[in-house]
Amino acid sequence: TVPSDFIRDIVAADRAAGKHNGRVVTRFPPEPNGYLHIGHAKSICLNFGIAKENPGGICHLRFDDTNPTTEDPEYVEAIQDDVHWLGFDWQGKKFFASDYFEQLYSFAVVLIQKGKAYVDSLTAEQMREYRGTLTEPGRNSPFRARSIEENFDLFRRMRAGEFPDGAHVLRAKIDMGSPNINLRDPVLYRIRHAAHYRTGTEWCIYPAYDYAHPLSDAIEGITHSICTLEFEDHRPLYDWVVAETGAPHRPQQIEFARLNLTFAVMSKRKLLELVDRKLVAGWDDPRIPTIKGLRRRGYTAEAIRAFCEHIGVAKRDAVVEMQLLEYFIREDLNKRSPRVMAVLNPLKVVIENYPEDAIEEMEAVNNPEDPSAGTRRVPFSRVLYIEQDDFREDPPKQFFRLAPGREVRLRYAYIMKCTGVVKDPETGAITELRCTYDPDTKSGSSQEQRKVKATIHWVSAAHAVPAEVRLYNPLLTTDLAKIPPDQDWTQSLNPQSLERLTGCLVEPGLKQAPVGARFQFERTGYFCVDPDSSQTGLVFNRTVSLKDAWAKIEKAHKTS
């Protein structure tokens, strides 16, 4: 289905009306001050999606790098990486606001010459006082009346590095009495004697977002500048900048509601704090909703895209339930991930009537939902491991799996009966099951029609490959707004985000499982081979949370 929303309607109407000569040019404009997260994915899918849907449409990737103190090339690389991973491409249209610094400066000079901008020498605190409040109008700065010549001279010297940080700013001359605070002579340039990761020390004045962004859009010929709701009342300023500088092109700013996910830590600031304080292993920690984290967790780009498409685009504030995200990844993985047998908590089983040295290759279906995935062969022998959960010495009413005297089917193999239980003489713990199998019941054999109540998975003890399993839960939090400012917000994070780290035994075919490969372990869930496993051996990360784990976490949060 083709996505439809109010923004796409605007774009379609503009195209139909021949606006911008029918061209559609969008842009994804991250500041390289952190890694992308699922919230950015919504914006990426929107901007690149609209470009893709419209013939000749294109989406630029622009780094909004106008603040030298927070930005880093590491983030530039990571962002490009993530956009590509999500399945989008800017087709060579990669730009940096910092590449426009010279042009932006020229536009500022135009503004000064027109008497539309002036150099103010108030301190930051004074400027705040002069700005007024939400209900009271602001007052003109005493420096507002400076002559064009003086303004130009001062601005030129600001650029030349003659003044320390904070000595002057360039402000737009709009209206200190405007009910819209953004129009009360906003700052266009500030002095920052800081090295920029791209322009080095070439500049010591840097343009502000409200100035650089509309002009960058105009310079690039962006037709639809899509941003989030908080910029709604910046739109008059956006339009003012484009109009007053006489920029050659008039982009249209359109706002939509950003994505919020229940219990998720989504703000860049907080994610950065988690990384800096080493509360998580890094930006790619599977517990945080960064693109890299989700990727490492085993989420697929297709699933994330499907999710973004499904949640839609609107102007009302919304909080999407994390379960919806997980639904989409499950949905996707069900179709594509091979089913494999893996035992997380092994219980040894000896099939007493099975020959000591025999090995059979059992044919197993790779994916019941996708016949083209084919089959594989899994070795079967006398000594197996089954899941501890699949055996109960004293089975309750609804338990139909293995118990003393009971029969179950071993998936892809035989019907097996439990004939004895071996216990540790010291502790009484069950260490081994003695069983017998029925040779006439081999899976797929035509004469076999016996029914058993349950089927369980297994691995051959002699062939099983040891692996490690990390059962991650997302790093969830309560409503951060409710946490007192003096309290460390990280205290509200769920302590069970990494539920446990345990060994497991997988069928031998997985020994060569490539990094990032996703599997569905029968009855235990979806797992992904961790990209770091090259160092630590075969490690699987759980992709989706268990429902009961969710319930546990949510309950814990609701009661706390």
Partner RNA sequence: UGGGGGAUCGUCUAGCGGUAGGACGCCGGCCUUUGGAGCCGGCUACCUAGGUUCGAUUCCUAGUCCCCCAGCCA
Site for RNA in 244-283 (CB under 7 A): 257
CB nearer to RNA: pick between 396 and 425: 396
Q: Is 412 in the site for RNA (CB under 7 A)?
A: yes
Per rule CB under 7 A, count of chain residues that contact RNA: 89
SS3 for 380-392 is ECCEEEEEHHHEC
CB of 424 to RNA, least distance (A): 26
CB nearer to RNA: pick between 191 and 418: 191
Q: Which residues contact 341 (CB under 8 A, 6 or more apart)?
A: 364, 378, 411, 457, 458, 459, 506, 507, 521, 522
Catalytic residue among 52, 93, 192, 258: 258
Beta strands in 192-281 (DSSP E): 205-207, 224-228, 252-256
CB of 428 to RNA, least distance (A): 27
CB nearer to RNA: pick between 81 and 554: 554
CB of 204 to RNA, least distance (A): 11
Stretch that binds RNA, among 36-44, 152-160, 309-317, 346-354 (CB under 7 A): 309-317
Tell me which of 451, 486, 495, 560 binds RNA, using CB under 7 A: 451
Q: Is 160 in the site for RNA (CB under 7 A)?
A: no
DSSP state of 314: -
Verify whether residue 31 is a known catalytic residue: yes
Number of Cβ within 10 Å of residue 20's Cβ equals 19
DSSP state of 258: P
Catalytic residue among 19, 23, 31, 270: 31
Question: What is each CA distance from 547 to 108, 381, 400, in whole angstroms?
Answer: 56, 34, 22
Catalytic residue among 159, 268, 382, 417: 268
Burial class from Cβ neighbours inside 10 Å (0-12, 13-18, 19+) for residue 526 reads buried
DSSP state of 446: T
Q: How far apart are CA 155 and CA 67, in angstroms?
A: 19
Q: How far apart are CA 534 and CA 369, in angstroms?
A: 30
Per-residue contact flags (x/-) with RNA for residues 102 to 141, judged by CB under 7 A:
--------------------xxx--xx--xxxxx------
Verify whether residue 116 is a known catalytic residue: no
Interface residues for RNA in 364-383 (CB under 7 A)?
A: 368-369
Verify whether residue 149 is a known catalytic residue: no
Interface residues for RNA in 454-513 (CB under 7 A)?
A: 454-457
Tell me which of 6, 113, 424, 532 binds RNA, using CB under 7 A: 6
Tell me the two tokens of residue 489: 């917000």
CB of 299 to RNA, least distance (A): 12
Cα 470 off chain centre by = 19
CB nearer to RNA: pick between 367 and 419: 367
Q: Which residue has the tokens 């999606």?
A: 49
Interface residues for RNA in 42-71 (CB under 7 A)?
A: 64, 66-67, 70
Tell me which of 20, 60, 295, 339 binds RNA, using CB under 7 A: 339
Tell me which of 151, 252, 477, 524 binds RNA, using CB under 7 A: 524
Question: What is each CA distance from 98 to 63, 79, 435, in whole angstroms?
Answer: 8, 17, 72
* Whether the Cβ atoms of residue 221 and residue 95 lie closer than 8 Å to each other: no
Q: Is 173 in the site for RNA (CB under 7 A)?
A: no
Tell me which of 366, 443, 478, 490 binds RNA, using CB under 7 A: 443
CB of 523 to RNA, least distance (A): 4
Q: How far apart are CA 465 and CA 478, in angstroms?
A: 40
Active site residues: 31, 258, 268
